[in-house]
């Protein structure tokens, strides 16, 4: 998985028939940072530009090589051979997500990954759901249900670049949707003013104060008031969106960072309070779970609910999304639907993914 945070590739090896009797076990994990200026080029390709098709072709090859490297690193960590792996679920890097236009684009070269890794690859998970009238996102709620559902009414929150929530009632339909920005604006603002990729632990945000006028302007975005099913991405929450919301205000950059933490926390908490009202526990995963300022804000807004991370159930926060796409690849190979129509709005269950044999 390489997500909207553009920090590299996370690869995990999952065993979906472990001797423990649990739904799955994590066998190994590896992280491969993007080489050279790949992250910058992937960010640039999310907007129209010169020589776009040729640049996208070259970036897709570089991205595929990073995926293959991450797969090899995970294999080495596990001490297993490529022949021992049923398949690799390789999501690709989302450059455009416009379900309102019946389209979504994940940059990838899965044939190259299959060739270099020597493993069957399942890719292109979102387009079939979009073709069936769905949002194509989020796709992880089905996995959340398989892994975390059944024992109590929970909500699962994945905070990557974009945040999404899954409602897991003890009885009844699983629901889920993208709540809005997770880390994407936080990372953007931190990189612009502090020069490094992200605000470790939310320490810079802690040094600032929330600007209530700016927060109100940010929360006025119509996406937040839309009813699910809904999904979003960098198409909406990108630098010009934040610039427009700031307007002519001149604020201390640390105060803007604190306000962006408040935005992510408020939109997640509002979504849970509105759509997951009976959930007594909130499990957080994704990179945002490592942001102490954000986790503290969520805990305060969601009290008296218990707010914790998936690590308390034995799955590290950085491994959940990659493992979800391993699970989706497994469902594709088995010919089972991977989407939840109640989540995506598709006309019905669909098998997700295209298979590239080893």
Quick: pLDDT tens for 136-171: 999 999 999 999 998 789 999 999 999 999 999 998
65 within 8 A of 112, measured Cβ to Cβ: yes
Spell out the domain ranges in the chain.
9-136+318-356, 141-313
176 within 8 A of 138, measured Cβ to Cβ: yes
Rounded to the nearest 5 degrees, what angle is found at the Cα of 60, between the Cα atoms of 56 and 61?
Answer: 125
1 within 8 A of 91, measured Cβ to Cβ: yes
Segment 322-357, tens digit of pLDDT: 999 999 999 999 999 999 999 999 999 999 999 999
User: In this predicted structure, what is the pLDDT of residue 22?
Assistant: 81
User: In this predicted structure, what is the pLDDT of residue 151?
Assistant: 78
Confidence of residue 18 (pLDDT cuts 50, 70, 90): confident
Q: Is residue 19 scored above 90 in pLDDT?
A: no
Confidence of residue 281 (pLDDT cuts 50, 70, 90): very high
Q: Which two tokens stand for residue 209?
A: 């104060």
Rounded to whole angstroms, the Cα distance separating 175 from 141 reads: 7
User: In this predicted structure, what is the pLDDT of residue 147?
Assistant: 92
> Residues 145, 23, 139, 264: what is their CA dihedral angle, to the nearest 10 degrees?
70
Mean pLDDT of the chain: 95
Domains 9-136+318-356 and 141-313 share a fold: yes
As its CATH architecture, domain 9-136+318-356 has: 2-Layer Sandwich (3.30)
Segment 183-214, tens digit of pLDDT: 999 999 999 999 888 999 999 999 999 999 99
Lowest mean pLDDT among 151-155, 261-265, 279-283: 151-155
Rounded to whole angstroms, the Cα distance separating 321 from 141 reads: 10
Pairing of strands 154-159, 93-98: unpaired
Q: Which two tokens stand for residue 166?
A: 């899954």
Write down the residue that tokens 């939109």 correspond to: 267
CATH number, span 141-313: 3.30.420.40
Q: Is residue 4 scored above 80 in pLDDT?
A: no
User: In this predicted structure, what is the pLDDT of residue 288?
Assistant: 96
Q: Is residue 225 scored above 90 in pLDDT?
A: yes
- pLDDT above 90 covers a percentage of the chain that reads 91
Segment 46-102, tens digit of pLDDT: 989 999 999 999 999 999 999 999 999 999 999 999 999 999 999 999 999 999 999
**CB-based contacts of 68, cutoff 8 Å, min separation 6:** 112, 113, 116, 117
Rounded to whole angstroms, the Cα distance separating 240 from 87 reads: 39
Q: Is residue 5 scored above 80 in pLDDT?
A: no
Kindly state the greatest CA–CA separation across the chain: 60
188 within 8 A of 239, measured Cβ to Cβ: yes
- pLDDT above 70 covers a percentage of the chain that reads 100
pTM to 2 decimal places: 0.92
Segment 295-312, tens digit of pLDDT: 999 999 999 999 999 999
Rounded to whole angstroms, the Cα distance separating 280 from 235 reads: 33
Q: Is residue 320 scored above 90 in pLDDT?
A: yes
User: In this predicted structure, what is the pLDDT of residue 63?
Assistant: 98
128 within 8 A of 352, measured Cβ to Cβ: yes
Q: Is residue 9 scored above 80 in pLDDT?
A: yes
Task: Write the secondary structure of the chain as one string of H (helix), E (strand) and C (coil).
Answer: CCCCCCCCEEEEEEECCCCCCCCCEEEEEEEECCCCCHHHHHHHCCCCCCCHHHHHHHHHHHHHHHHHHHHHHHHHHHCCCHHHCCCEECCCEEEEEEHHHCEEEEECCHHHHHHHHCCCEEECCCHHHHHCCCCCCCCCHHHHHHHHCCCCCEEEEEECCEEEEEEECCCCCCEEEEEEECCHHHHHHHHHHHCCCCCHHHHHHHCCCCCHHHHHHHHCCHHHHCCCCCCCCCCCCCHHHHHHHHCCCCCCHHHHHHHHHHHHHHHHHHHHHHHCCCCCEEEEECHHHHCHHHHHHHHHHHCCCEEEEHHHHCCCCCCHHHHHHHHHHHHHHCCCCCCCHHHHCCCCCCCCCEEECC
Chain centroid to Cα 251, Å, comes to 30
């Amino acid at each position: 998985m390489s997500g909207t945070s553009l920090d590299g590739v996370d690869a995990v090896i999952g065993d979906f028939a472990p001797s423990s009797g649990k739904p799955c076990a994590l066998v190994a994990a590896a992280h491969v940072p993007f080489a050279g200026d790949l992250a910058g080029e992937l960010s640039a390709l999310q907007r129209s530009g010169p020589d776009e098709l040729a640049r996208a072709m070259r970036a897709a090859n570089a991205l595929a090589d990073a995926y293959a490297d991450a797969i090899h690193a995970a294999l080495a960590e596990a001490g297993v051979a490529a022949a021992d792996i049923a398949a690799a679920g390789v999501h690709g890097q989302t450059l455009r997500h416009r379900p309102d236009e019946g389209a979504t684009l994940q940059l990838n070269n899965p044939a190259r990954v299959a060739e270099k890794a020597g493993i069957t690859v399942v890719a292109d998970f979102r387009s079939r759901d979009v073709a069936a009238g769905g949002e194509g996102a989020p796709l992880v709620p089905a996995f959340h249900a398989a892994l975390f559902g059944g024992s109590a009414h929970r909500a699962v929150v994945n905070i990557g670049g974009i945040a999404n929530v899954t409602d897991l009632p003890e009885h009844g339909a699983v629901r889920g949707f993208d709540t809005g920005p997770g880390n994407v604006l936080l990372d953007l603002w931190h990189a612009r003013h502090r020069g490094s990729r992200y605000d470790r632990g939310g320490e810079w945000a802690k040094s600032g104060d929330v600007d209530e006028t700016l927060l109100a302007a940010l929360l006025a975005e119509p996406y937040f008031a839309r009813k699910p099913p809904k999904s979003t991405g960098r198409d909406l929450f990108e630098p010009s969106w934040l610039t427009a919301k700031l307007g002519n205000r001149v604020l201390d950059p640390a105060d803007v960072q604190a306000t962006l933490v408040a935005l992510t926390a408020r939109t997640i908490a509002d979504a849970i309070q509105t759509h997951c009202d009976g959930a007594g526990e909130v499990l957080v995963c994704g990179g945002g779970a490592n942001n102490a300022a954000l986790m503290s804000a969520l805990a305060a807004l969601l009290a008296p609910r218990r707010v914790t991370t998936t690590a308390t159930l034995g799955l590290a926060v950085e491994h959940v999304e990659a493992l979800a796409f391993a699970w989706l690849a497994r469902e594709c190979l088995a010919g089972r639907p991977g989407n939840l129509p109640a989540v995506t709005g598709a006309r019905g269950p669909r098998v997700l993914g295209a298979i590239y044999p080893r």
